[in-house]
Amino acid sequence: MFRNKKTRYTMILSGPYLLWIIGGTLIPLIMMFYYGLTTADGGFTLSNVFAIAEAGHAKALGQALLYSAVSTVVCFVLAFPLAVILKNSKLGTKGFVVFVFILPMWMNFLLRTMAWQVLLEKGGVINGVLTWMGLPRMRLINTPGAIIMGMVYDFLPFMIMPLYNVMSKIDNNVVEAARDLGASGWQVIYKVLLPLSVPGIVSGVTMVFVPALTTFVISNMLGGGKIFLIGNVIEHEFTVGDNWHLGAGLSLVMMVFILISMAFIAKFDKNGEGNLL
């Protein structure tokens, strides 16, 4: 069957990975396409995909796009200055600072989100402190703000790491050259550091935006089931609604966004500089 020993050896070694790809990626993908493009009695249809245009679904998609876009921007606004500061600092503790920011990432995702629930609840920690200070209670949980807060907290490390990576690789001589040519501190940032860290920015934006777009756990836990994002709709169809066909069809739509993001990374991050994976 095999031409020689070497090919057989290669086949044996790659076997587990092939199984993994087939079982973990290929079969689920085929299943998704099958369910997404068929009706309950097995006939071909595109209606599950076009269902995204229905008012409720379109609204959920719109909100998901809005929330994930806002939290991506917030993550960037927090992470970029940090990366610049870490680049300019002469401290030997740079690695430690990054570690501190990344630390929450090692904790379970659900646990972290649950922690925010406890903090934001009506009788939660923050309101407790407000009451103690004699201030009126605030409605924190089950608001768009709570969801965005949760998204930022959960996904910030994915923005910091590629930005820090790409920024620390920029040659300090280049920064000094810009200063030498008359650029002020701000001009150095937007004329040199910002354009040179585009690969990292694209990586970071994608790694925050895509998971935020498809999340349903954060919106469930911090939105109290009142705010429906597209992730919640899909989850609902698979569990409560028991309509796998519609769920798969809507998931195919989400895949389009993921593919667009991947194309962006491929275009801007040719050298894999900002790549975390």
Summarize as ranges the residues that interact with another protein (CB under 8 A): 171, 173-174, 176-184, 187, 191-192, 195-196, 198
- The DSSP H or E segment spanning 117 is helix 109-120
Smaller CB distance to another protein: residue 7 or 187?
Answer: 187
Q: Could you give phi then psi for residue 45, rounded to 5 degrees?
A: -155, 150
177 vs 259 by CB, closer to another protein? 177
- Which C-beta is closer to another protein: that of 102 or that of 198? 198
Alpha-carbon span 72 to 257, nearest angstrom: 15
- State the Cα–Cα distance between residues 264 and 62, nearest whole angstrom: 21
Nearest alpha-carbon partner for 232 in 245, 214, 255, 205? 214
CA 79 to chain centre: 14
DSSP assignment letter at 171: -
Nearer to another protein, 132 or 186 (CB): 186
Query: Shortest distance, CB of residue 270 to another protein, whole angstroms?
Result: 11
CB of 81 to another protein, least distance (A): 20
Query: What's the min distance (Å) between Cβ of 247 and another protein?
Result: 43
Q: Is 158 helix (H, G, I), strand (E, B) or coil?
A: helix
Write down the least CB distance from residue 147 to another protein, Å.
36
Q: Which two tokens stand for residue 134?
A: 């004699």
Q: Which is nearer to another protein, 173 or 239 (CB)?
A: 173
Least distance CB 200 / another protein (angstroms): 13
Query: Which residue type sits at 53?
Result: A
